[in-house]
A and B are shown apart, each in its own frame.
Chain A
């Protein structure tokens, strides 16, 4: 299967724009250039890609594979190995419930159950309207303030199921107004 995306030849002065004209590919170009297109920079590049695009869509994986001169299977293999990389789009808001031992012992399972019930989706999924993703992590290292939940990138400690539900309500109310 050949991709139609343009590759960036090594040593080119300026990277040709991605055919879609999407400027986010420039962020990737900069990252790869900064790492001299080394193949071992793949994970760093995928992190940047996820940051810029929200998730790792196939077009992005193809682009990176060509630029780093890696087989697509290798890039796909790395993208699917690590939990933090997502090949599906996430919601506008996301909450990550920590399921580490300390948080679990302190009831994060109940927090997750409450969130799943409130949103109607299971962990790892996004609500049909694309507003909220409910995710889990296996320990974010905030064990002293267990149970912990990360709401849109911000860590919150000693979260009760009620508090978690309230946050979802704030988010969904905001989108309705």
Chain B
């Protein structure tokens, strides 16, 4: 297809769209609360009122305010409805027809939860139908791919990504441009692009949301990457726990192939790019890039020692680029708006935005995309609305690889370096808020139980270490541990951290180390009391 055809498709779709769009979130969270029926009720109401010529109900992706779903938005009036029930849904349509008031709870689109966000990756989430490629094209989709193929050479694309300062959004924050350059430098031959959609961090669902809401954005990012590094085949590895994301991706790939933006000779260039989906089967370790490769190869997800890095020898020993879903979500806008634009957002070393899943004991549960450098306090108190009871005790970031930041440290900036200095990490974006009712020692054991279940078993420090750390924490919680036990636990943590083969083992001790640092008194309070306690022994 030609550029003119692409623009034409977009134009036709925009003309076909009605002046009033009633957007109904149909992502997993809202579907669990009957969003499917809510949409159907509104469709029926539009038909009954006979206003289908100016009102259309569209099933869209995630709007982000997941704790208050099902969510419905009306454009262009900018009305927001929350917790919409199938019974009350028709009243929204009737109100548009001038017949009565809408019954559901009205939300405030100017609340900091919404207004303080800067949506780059989630730009179209909640605004377009993810199951219609025409809607993606109508908002400018696939123009970045065209621009890259026709106006840029592969090294130019790599340069642009490097200059933008984009860092991997999967957790480690490795400079994306550098990774691309490494794979691009490898001699021509079979190379692969893999999108890591394994999102195993408990409490994180950013990638699920993007895959369900704007799958084409990811496909476009992968295709641009393929062009830049010289790959003609891509794989998206999605965890099996995300069936809706898988089916939306399958549809998106089919539609992209039909339209011609995936497949052979894209936009009449000599660039071919195909994407296949690979489904996981419930293993957290498969989020680690070498384990993921092992899984795509049909085996157990055992990590491999690096070097060689996947960029040099990865899938089937070919140079492989692996990036996270959110990383790919940033590619198209960087190509369209330029590296300088992206680099103007965020801090000096952490450019752009980050999507966080704000969950736990917070008032406003959901997904937010904010510029790097925003303070934790602004996220938790202004956007999140603070905790329901009492004060924030801790904010856990980075999942089981991260740490707990105490409520007293909320005035720190959210960026890669700051969070690492606080003893945590950015991680994939999970942000779990805890209040006074959470025991930090229990939370440490909770995370260790998770690591103990998920260890692949290949290396001894992790295989045996996670069990020992878990047993040690159980001893503490049972009131049977002494100070010696605590010291030994700390030693063990440092040893496992230093000697494990992969990131799972290397970061498994982090929750313990961070809670021991900030919440030592909770550990001490659980220690076994000396038998003759007439004189306190320290």
User: Footprint of B on A, CB under 8 Å?
Assistant: 38-44, 46-47, 74, 77-78, 81-85, 99-106, 137-146, 148, 154-157
Contacts and interface: CB of A to CB of B under 8 A. Distances in A.
Contacts of A81: 283, 300-301, 456
Contacts of B202: 99-104, 138-139, 143
A167 to B, nearest CB: 14
A27 to B, nearest CB: 16
Interface stretch (B359-367, B377-385, B494-502): B359-367
A61 to B, nearest CB: 14
Interface in B184-207: 199-205
Contacts, number: 144
A102 B32 contact: no
Nearest to A83: B282
A43 B241 contact: no
Contacts of A142: 28-29, 32, 205
A77 B365 CA distance: 39
Interface footprint category on B: 35 or more
A82 B33 CA distance: 29
B396 interface: yes
Contact of B204 (A84, A143, A155): A143
B297 A143 contact: no
Contact of A83 (B283, B359, B366, B438): B283
A91 to B, nearest CB: 18
A39 to B, nearest CB: 6
Given A99-B202, A105-B432, A143 B300 contact: no
B273 interface: no
Q: Among A46, A105, A157, which residue has the most Cβ atoms of chain B within 10 A?
A: A105
Given A41-B298, A102-B202, A139-B202, A46 B360 contact: no
A145 B32 contact: yes
Contacts of B396: 101
A139 B32 contact: no
A74 B294 CA distance: 13
Given A42-B298, A139-B204, A143-B205, A102 B28 contact: no
B281 A40 contact: no
20 contacts: A43-B279, A47-B281, A74-B299, A77-B299, A78-B298, A83-B282, A83-B283, A101-B360, A101-B447, A102-B359, A102-B365, A102-B430, A103-B202, A106-B360, A139-B241, A141-B208, A142-B29, A144-B66, A144-B69, A148-B32
Contacts of A143: 66, 202-205, 357, 359, 365, 430
Given A81-B283, A143-B203, A104 B446 contact: yes
A84 B298 contact: no
A144 B298 contact: no
Contact of A138 (B66, B200, B366): B200
Interface in B31-48: 31-33
A144 B205 contact: yes
Given A78-B300, A82-B301, A141-B242, 13 more contacts: A43-B279, A78-B299, A85-B282, A101-B360, A105-B432, A137-B282, A138-B200, A138-B284, A138-B450, A141-B204, A141-B205, A142-B28, A155-B29
Given A40-B296, A82-B282, A105-B434, A156 B203 contact: no
B215 interface: no
Contacts of A144: 29, 66-67, 69, 205, 357, 359, 365-367
B240 interface: yes
Contact of B28 (A41, A105, A141): A141
Q: Among A42, A139, A146, which residue has the most Cβ atoms of chain B within 10 A?
A: A139
A146 B298 contact: no
A138 B454 contact: yes
A82 B283 contact: yes
A47 B238 CA distance: 14
B295 interface: yes
A155 B202 CA distance: 16
B32 A154 contact: yes
A101 B301 contact: no
B538 to A, nearest CB: 33
Contacts of B299: 42, 74, 77-78
B226 interface: no
B279 A47 contact: yes
Contact of B297 (A40, A137, A139, A148): A40
